[in-house]
Structure 1
């Protein structure tokens, strides 16, 4: 006659608990693995849409419109680097001398930026016109800035203030700054967020530091654009 388990015994309760924990853990692990690829795809698509949004090109097909690559500290292309993997830890990528670039088919570029606000990380994408100077657009986000104050950096209304600003004054890199009390230099400043001084300072530092990594690339492209313009003017004059 088969021996019955004593369901009230401590041994039964312990074994039963262990079995249930293993079963639940296995189910959760399988679910996490099955959803991992979908989650990564969603994150990747979100990044692509942010890049296109910074260009005001949401209607474009990312893969057809954007050439994504990585440059070193001298502005030279690095082969064999996965651009979106570098975005997972952009600060670490910068420290390693690897700088992601997203170049649009129309000659504009989008540069990722990262920094620190009042309560945590802030990040975004800055699109520059073909002159590598004028801001075409910007997308910013944050992890925990104060709603109604620092969190305003993520609002389209605030981001629209950056369009048309310039990051160079002549040949000198000056970036774009957020000024408390209102912008005084219309070419290089925007109004700081009212009540969000620390976040505004963090964004200013983020733009200056992050964009500064790309100066060799930007200066090379500016020189190339100037040479093309000069050649075009010479051809026109000869005609």
Structure 2
């Protein structure tokens, strides 16, 4: 998926919990709509009806979920999401703005759960027939700062947010390694910067792709 002009544009936002992905996705969506672009805003898991059911299991199930089962559930959501929502939207020439994609599985299930990161990535690539975004924005934030933001939000933590700091340190390191490996796809931003500054940096990169 590389011919953005012919079939739309696919942008994903990645980073640890509390990094500000939802905020930046909303700002980007508004900016694109102001410029007359049709935008599909979505997320993983939970971007479809099937995904909502899977999201409840992987993030809110009170019992344990085996790490490999968790990885497979995310891949199942991803397969359905890309086939039924993302690809059709891109074919219509729309811009897809998506909160999380396969990089999250590599970071959270691969590094966080200490599975084989390459196998987790290959699982998602198989599930989606090799689909990769045109741009992935990585909002990089120290896990301690991210936890402070989550604490300030004063809402219950999901299963991943509730993990120990060392889990989130591994996740952050994995995200940064992914960005280093694919600099042409990633835009890495310091998520401690003001939201307006981050939004401007994202808009600059997206403008070059439109």
Report TM bin, short chain: under 0.3
Judging by fraction of residues, say which structure has more strand. 1
The structure that has the greater radius of gyration is 1
TM-score by length of 2: 0.26
**Relative CO higher for 1 or 2, CA cutoff 8 Å, sep ≥ 6?**
2
